[in-house]
Amino acid sequence: MKFRKIPAHIYPVLMLGVVSQIGQVLLLRELLMVFHGNELAIGIILSAWLAWTGLGSRIGIHLVDRMGQAVYWLKISVLGVLFLLPATILIIRSLRGFFDVLPGAWLTLPEMFLSCFMLMGPVCLLLGSQFVLLSRIWRERENLADTTGAGKTYMSEAAGNMVGGILFTFVLVHLLNPFQSAVLAAGVMLAAVFLILPGQVVRSRVSFIPLFILFIFLLGAPLFYFLDKVDGFAHSLKWSFTAPDHELVETRQSKHGSIAVLKLEDQYSFFQSGHLVFSTAGPETLVPGLEGQEAVSFAHLAMVQHKNPEKILLIGGGLRGTLAEIARHPVQSIDYIEVDEKLIQTAAPYVFPETLEVLEDPRVNLIHTDARLFVKQADQTYDLIIVDTPDPTTSALNRFYTREFFMETRKLLDRGGVLVTGTSSTPDLRGTAISNRNAAVYHTLNDVFSLVLVAGDRFMFYFASDDQDQVSVDPFILRERYNERGVHAQGFSPVHFQILLEETRLLRINWIVRRHGRDSLAHIHGPPSPPITPVPLSEQLMSETKLNPVEKSMFINSDFKPIVYYYTLMYWDHLTRTGERDLLKSLLHIRAWWILPFMAAPVIAAAGLRLLGNRGSLMDTSFGITGTAFSTGMSTMILQIALLFSFQNIYGFIYETVGLIVALFMLGLALGAYCTHRFIPNKSSLNTLALFQVLMAALTAVIGLVLPLTASLQSPVLIFGLFSILTFTAGLINGINYPLAAACFMAVSRRAEKSAGRVYGAELLGACLGAALASVLVVPILGIIACCLLAAAANVTAFFILLVSRRSYA
């Protein structure tokens, strides 16, 4: 069988995409673990990656224009990536050691920015320069005079990105540790550059496979053994800075995130993706400590909120002891949801024996699935739903405190059913951040259920139901229910109800949460001071309807505006750091209309250049094209961040699927570049480029309208399919734009590599700004839909820039 000849230079371009994608996902996952799973960091990480890659493309322009020898510089840069990528992972593991930060404290936003931009630089500069170098090689090998080589390079790199994302998601993450994955990807690219690139043509499509196999067998075994030891050392190094008083007992990889088990005396703490999941007394402990006592109190106070609970749904909390305490009550069935099977396997040797024994109880049904998806699809009803998840310190955890989730759980409650959840708190809700957060959870629940009661001191319980006679905070009523069931629990007695529900404290926190959040600046000024002796709870319930309406924009938490997550970050900064809380609080002042001056400024600048310029320089046209590339990059990245957050909120954790999501985006990118190359004959038309900005703006706005409808979908296949289409579409529109902008710039500058690098760099810098804005500001404060509208505004701005700067350059 005779195969068509394949250009040798396509393999290094494909491998550039593979290495870039695998490297990006590896560094993203590693930094997320250091940043405690805080998704605000996603935009910061991506913005740093894009900024340095864009700058690297400018370096590539300098190299090929001033020094030539593109193949030589490509070999040097690939060697650099081979050593720098694993070295960067090692430095990330020790990152906390570079800052004066207390154990358990989070790095501040400035520290996150500094870390990402310092660490990403070396690798991304090399990868960015490789794009321009390979564009030059492609042009020279095919004797091209325009930017067609750059377009083909762009398309092939995107195809490599797609392959890298799929390869990482389905193969590498399951078989190799991060160091092994990094060295393997960079090593294969090294082989492609040194062994294939010198030739002009690869005559067989399978000729590269023997080289790959040779690399694996000759270098793989001893090198991978060494890298496995490096990975273990790096984990120990990381936790020595994160929790220096703890002993790292075990680490284990899971598709939901790296699991780490730490020990302090007889206490075991379990971390996943860098944030604390739960702590428990070890199997050698005779009496559970503080962590066990919290689970005991939570379980029994929740169980007596229903007069006769028979069918229970428990979301989380089973491994810290909540499940065992629930099983002490005379119930018929307990459905216990724990998303990660490996977490239970990892925890088994370290938790209190009774915690594992209860899993053998015939009434207990252990379900490994995402709780949000289970709640969407479940066809049975429950008397009591107990949500025992950690505080919403991440967007992934915030999903269990949103209006959409509460509405889904309400549909599963039988007549007279009760929902119980909780968050950490402070006495009398002291502090603006914690009062904002807990009041927002209360108002969100109160927007769904007809009756919501709160209780607690350093931990706040929320009891929600549509049955007025079911939930109660009267210790005498709850003690009677408890005694009637004949429950006997170690570390808990009927007296605890009076301790947990002390009347004065109970009335004060109910008074605060019901009144806080009812004026436009409540989230800035904090709650009103409660009276020393608030009125009885019955009077508070009657008078609540007479209060001002709740400011929903800042005190109703939803999948598409995770404000509770942002308040939680403010609270943790308040607990562990100084100064940063003021920054986060100041960001709450932003308003949507602030975008208007930023839209007007580049348009005014383009008009000024048009008036001051002359036909010979075409500076206004050059500015317009570059500005369009910048705006398109920003728009596409804002849209991608919006889709990532939406996908996580509705479908599940992006940690597991981030490689696949990006692969879908890159598939669209590659196809968009191909369609432009194949079907648009006059790529250098400014009219075509301008028209495309309008189409992008319209499409982005439509996506913003469609996203809220996805929250009502129940089928996980349908949800994933819809997000796949939306992600693919976002990549497609960006892929079409690059070849058009590069061809237009080529018509102005008459220099191929300068055009390719300038447009590529502008697009990446725009994406850098878009990632930071969307992740840090727009999503948590203004919402995901505002992200889509901001992306559309960026494309509208690009259209007007072209409109005022457009002129003939024939």
Q: At what angle do helices 784-805 and 595-612 cross, to 10 degrees?
A: 10
Q: At what angle do helices 563-576 and 432-446 cross, to 10 degrees?
A: 150
Q: Are 23 and 178 in contact (CB under 8 A)?
A: no
Q: Which residues contact 188 (CB under 8 A, 6 or more apart)?
A: 15, 18, 212, 215
Q: What is the overall mean pLDDT for the chain?
A: 82
* The pair of three-digit structure tokens given for residue 524, joined into one six-digit string: 């800035």
CA distance 437 to 523: 9
pLDDT value, residue 291? 55
Average of per-residue pLDDT across 159-177: 83
Of the ranges 9-13, 28-32, 447-451, 782-786, which is most confident?
447-451
Percent of the chain surpassing pLDDT 90: 20
Q: Higher confidence at residue 438 or residue 608? A: 438
3-class SS of residue 79? helix
Place of tokens 């915030």: 398
DSSP letter at 773? I
pLDDT value, residue 438? 94
CA distance 406 to 464: 10
Beta bridge partner(s), residue 418: 384, 465
Q: Which residues contact 320 (CB under 8 A, 6 or more apart)?
A: 278, 279, 280, 291, 292, 294, 295, 355, 388
Place of tokens 């600048």: 605
CA distance 618 to 54: 24
pLDDT at 5 over 70: no
pLDDT at 712 over 80: no
- 200: confidence class by pLDDT, cuts 50, 70, 90: very low
Nearest partner of 101 among 200, 196, 243, judged by Cα: 243
Pairing of the two strands 382-387 and 201-202: unpaired
Burial per residue of 436-449, b for 16 or more beta-carbon CB atoms within 10 angstroms, e otherwise: bbbbbbbbbbbbbb
Encode pLDDT of 305-339 as tens digits: 999 999 999 998 888 888 989 999 999 999 999 88
Task: Give the other-Cβ count within 10 Å of 53's Cβ.
Answer: 27
* The pair of three-digit structure tokens given for residue 665, joined into one six-digit string: 């985006």
Write out the DSSP string of 276-313. Answer: EEEEEE-TT-SS--HHHHHHHHHHHHHHTTSSS--EEE
pTM: 0.84
Average of per-residue pLDDT across 755-760: 74
CA distance 664 to 732: 10
Average of per-residue pLDDT across 567-586: 71
Sheet of 364-367, strand order: 364-367, 333-337, 311-315, 382-387, 413-424, 459-465, 451-456
* The pair of three-digit structure tokens given for residue 482, joined into one six-digit string: 């408890």
